[in-house]
Every structure is written in structure tokens, then in C-alpha cells.
Amino acid sequence: MKKFNLRSSYLPKPTRLCLAACTIFITISPAPHATAAEYLPGIEWEEPRQVTPGKNNQDPPSDAVILFDGVDTNAWNNAETWSVTDGFLIVGKGMISTKEAFGDCQLHVEWSSPLPAEGTGQGRGNSGVFFGPYEIQVLDSFENATYFDGQAAAIYKQTPPLVNVMRKPGEWNSYDIIWNTPRFDAEGKLTEPATVTVLHNGVLVQNNFELLGDTPFNRPPQYNPHPPELPIRLQDHRNPVRFRNIWIREIAPIQGKRTQQPTLRDKKTSAKRPKKG
């Protein structure tokens, strides 16, 4: 087989010239980013705060509020009715709730279903993480049939998780939850529904889900006005679920101020922007 060659005599001369011109053009064309103008958004941003991450991603970063470190339950009301054994907080009598109230936040919580597994359906390893009246289900969903919008990582009675990432009973699960609290106007009318994103054992299971309201067992969801900040609660469903390593970060949008309309700056005629960072 004859190799392709620009100098191949079987190509007609005009074709050879055209190919040569294309090769020269490709060679000398500037990279896509090397344009003459720069887009300037016209917004002056605040500098993002420095946060020191934990040694591992499940460890609390420097700006986290520790809710349970394996020993101290002082962050909680009613914790005296639960027990702490071997660094684990074990469900006791009644819900516990944080003394501090939280609005928009990132919550990390680890939990383990009882071993041996006892009960079936909603009666096996049931607890829950509540943001005010809104529950993210905790349940032993390892080979345990129940209604899908009631299994682990469901928004209770509103939506199942995208996938089931449950570990075996006795093993540890983690939830990383991004919670945006609902907003109400002065008349108590809903202006922004709550939204939630959940990673279960590092896997996305709720993708910015918009809640329909609260999550009771016995009636449809509804919104009742409340302050943006409410306690976090952990549920007693009469199953000795264990918890550990619970921390939370309050979150807020980064702030920016428009100082001019978006524009294109001619890089040839403008002074260079000072480098930062």
C-alpha cells in the first residue's frame, strides 16, 4: 500500500498546494484562549474564607460545629435518655435535638443499623435525621423490603433515593447532606421550598430535591411557616441505631457586588490585571 505523502506525485498540484496551505494555517493558528479580548464579568467578589479540611473527608473541617465526637453529648437536648458506648451514641427514649438551631447547612453523620438485624420493613433499624419537621430516613435497607419512599436516604413519603447504597447491618454508613431551608414571607407564605442533596456512603442519592413540605406518616406534606433556623433532630423509632462523628457547617452564598456591566477588555491596549494568589 502506498503511504500518504504531500509530495506524492499522484496528487494533482492544486490539491498539494491546498493541503500545504492548510498545514501552515493549523501550525501558526493561535491557541483558542489566546484571543485579543478578555471577558470581565464586572462583579467584585468577596474573598472566599480559608477553611482547613479534615485529614480525611469524613473528618470535620476547621469551621465545623461538632455535634458528637464520640464522647460529648452537650450539643443535644434530651441526650441523657440515649446512651454513649464505645464512642457511639445509641438511640434511647425520645428524639434528641440540637440546642443550637441551623438554617442552610452541610451535615455529616455516620450511623449503623443494629446487629443482629431484627424486625422487618419500617421496623428494622429505623431512625431519621430531621431538619425541623423534614425527615431524611435512616433505615436498615440491606435486603429489607419496604415502600421505596420510606427506605434509607428517602425523603420520607416524598421520594426514594436515586439508588440503594446501604451497607450490611453492623457496618457504618455515612450521610453528607446539603440542606437549604425553606423561606416564608412576612405573611407566612412559602417563597422558596426546602431543597436537599444527599450523598450516602459517598454516592449521590438525592440531587437537589425540592421538598413538598414536611414528612409526616399520616397526612400529605405541607409547609407551615417557621424561622429559617431550626434544631437538627435524631429520631427514636424504638430501634437501637448507633451514631458517630456528627458535624455541621453553616453555609451561605458567596457575596459579590456589581461594579460595572459585563464587558470585553482589549488585552493589547489595557494594563495587565495584577496577579493574586
Is 240 a binder of Mg ion (CB under 5 A)?
no
Closest CA to 53 of 63, 45, 43: 63
Alpha-carbon distances, residue 173 vs 36, 58, 151 (angstroms): 52, 11, 14
At position 127, the amino acid (one-letter code) is S
CB of 153 to Mg ion, least distance (A): 11
Number of amino acids touching Mg ion (CB under 5 A): 3
Distance between CA atoms of 50 and 272, rounded to whole angstroms? 27
CA pair distance 183, 192, nearest whole angstrom: 5
Q: What mask, x for binding Mg ion by CB under 5 A, covers residues 199 to 238? A: ------------------------------------x---
Task: Tell me the residue length of the chain.
Answer: 277
CA-nearest of 226, 195, 197, 225 to 211 is: 195
Counting contacts by CB under 5 A, is residue 150 touching Mg ion? no
Please identify, using beta-carbon distances, which residue of 126 and 180 lies nearer to Mg ion: 126
Check residue 114 for interaction with Mg ion (CB under 5 A).
Answer: no
Smallest distance from Mg ion to CB 235, Å: 5
Tell me the three cell numbers of residue 226: 417557621
Closest by CA to 177, choosing from 193, 148, 154, is: 154
Candidate segments 21-29, 119-127, 178-186, 259-267, binder of Mg ion by CB under 5 A: 119-127
Residue 128 vs 240, nearer CB to Mg ion? 128
160 lies in the binding site for Mg ion (CB under 5 A): no
Cα 21 to Cα 122: distance, rounded to the nearest angstrom: 72
Stretch of residues binding Mg ion (CB under 5 A), selected from 72-80, 102-110, 127-135, 222-230: 127-135
**Quick one: the chain helix, strand, coil %, rounded to 5?**
10, 35, 55
Q: Which is nearer to Mg ion, 180 or 235 (CB)?
A: 235
Binding to Mg ion by residue 128, rule CB under 5 A?
Answer: yes
Hey, which residues between 32 and 61 contact Mg ion (CB under 5 A)?
none
CA angle 248, 224, 198 (to 5 degrees): 35
| Residue 98: CB minimum distance to Mg ion, A | 17
Residue 177 Cβ, how far from Mg ion at the closest point, in Å?
15
**Closest CB to Mg ion belongs to which residue?**
128
Nearer to Mg ion, 4 or 217 (CB): 217
Minimal distance in Å, beta carbon 186 to Mg ion? 33
d(CA 134, CA 249): 18
Rounded to the nearest whole angstrom, what is the least distance from the CB of residue 40 to Mg ion in the complex?
A: 50
Binding site for Mg ion (CB under 5 A): 126, 128, 235
